[in-house]
């Protein structure tokens, strides 16, 4: 199978404008992401709506295409970029542009989901551990997911799912071993990517502000791969400071 990894990268951000170009020890963040993805997939493409990001990717020798400023989601941006690059691929892997510590093994897990020919869309989850704190479980910025016996997503929520009836919340992690944190990477068969970009927003998507619920509501199946590695997403300048501290330790 032929895979294409696409990294959507916007300049505009309410909480962190210019985030893809933020310096990380001499390299812009988008370069850090790109180099990590290259370790797992040779076909990598940045999809941006900003000339500054376009120029930055070109300057470090990366592949990049300009896309519309009107896209509502990274999925839509990925599809335009896929069409513009002109080559056929079986699967598009959507890597968030603010994940400079994405691990090659995580991308490989996502790709392996497509060894099942029935897989339409795939994503990653990380099991919560009994040692995790209650605050991390109840964090609404960290969506949770429940899966069925075929390791397909049944539902995603910013609330904690499942609800452990009759138990105090501080005991939930130790009493139920199937809490999954959603890791926001996706991969789509290209024909499915074409279809889902034509769907209208759904009621559940609007309620939870989670795009993947639109796909579930319209009958698409989302295969779930399991990783035990944590990712460090960067949403704010404060997140960047923590990420730089981690990077300094890694690069010593």
Domains of the chain, first to last: 1-100 (3.90.550.10), 103-183+191-230 (3.90.550.10)
Three-class SS of residue 128?
coil
For residues 190 and 185, what is the distance between their CA atoms, to the nearest angstrom? 16
Mean local confidence (pLDDT), 146-175: 93
Output the six-digit token pair for 93.
């892997």
* Stated pTM of the model: 0.93
17 falls in which pLDDT band (50, 70, 90)?
confident
CA distances from 95 to 75, 101, 186, 204, 251 (A): 10, 11, 7, 24, 23
Distance of CA 142 to the CA centre of its chain: 12
CA distances from 235 to 8, 84, 99, 171 (A): 15, 28, 10, 30
Query: Are 78 and 92 a contacting pair, CB within 8 Å?
Result: yes
Rounded Cα gap, residues 252 and 247, in angstroms: 9
Residue that has been written with the tokens 């619920």 in this structure: 213
- The answer to whether the beta carbons of residues 187 and 165 sit under 8 Å apart is no
User: What is the overall mean pLDDT for the chain?
Assistant: 93
- The tens digit of pLDDT for each residue in 200-230 reads 999 999 999 999 999 999 999 999 999 998 8
**Looking at beta carbons, which pairs linking 199-208 to residues 24 or more positions away fall under 8 Å?**
208/143, 208/156, 208/157, 208/158
């Amino acid at each position: 199978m032929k895979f294409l990894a696409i990294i959507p990268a916007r300049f505009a951000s309410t909480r962190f404008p210019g985030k893809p170009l933020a310096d990380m020890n001499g390299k812009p963040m988008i370069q850090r992401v790109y180099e990590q993805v290259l370790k797992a997939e040779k076909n990598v493409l940045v999809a941006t709506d900003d000339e500054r990001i376009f120029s930055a990717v070109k300057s470090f020798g990366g592949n990049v295409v300009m896309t519309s400023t009107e896209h509502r989601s990274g999925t839509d941006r990925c599809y335009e970029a896929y069409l513009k690059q002109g080559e056929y691929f079986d699967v598009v892997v959507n890597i968030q542009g603010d994940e400079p510590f994405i691990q090659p093994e995580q991308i490989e897990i996502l790709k392996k989901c497509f060894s099942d020919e029935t897989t339409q869309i795939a994503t990653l989850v990380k099991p919560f551990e009994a040692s995790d704190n209650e605050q991390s479980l109840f964090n609404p910025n960290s969506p949770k997911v429940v899966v069925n016996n075929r390791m397909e997503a049944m539902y995603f929520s910013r609330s904690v799912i499942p609800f452990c009836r009759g138990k105090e919340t501080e005991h939930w992690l130790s009493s139920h071993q199937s809490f999954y944190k959603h890791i926001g990477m996706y991969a789509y068969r290209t024909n499915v990517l074409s279809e889902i970009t034509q769907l209208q927003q759904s009621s559940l998507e609007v309620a939870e502000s989670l795009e993947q619920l639109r796909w579930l509501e319209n009958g698409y199946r989302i295969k779930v791969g399991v990783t035990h590695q944590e990712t460090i997403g960067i949403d704010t300048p404060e997140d960047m400071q923590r990420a730089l501290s981690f990077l300094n330790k890694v690069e010593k």
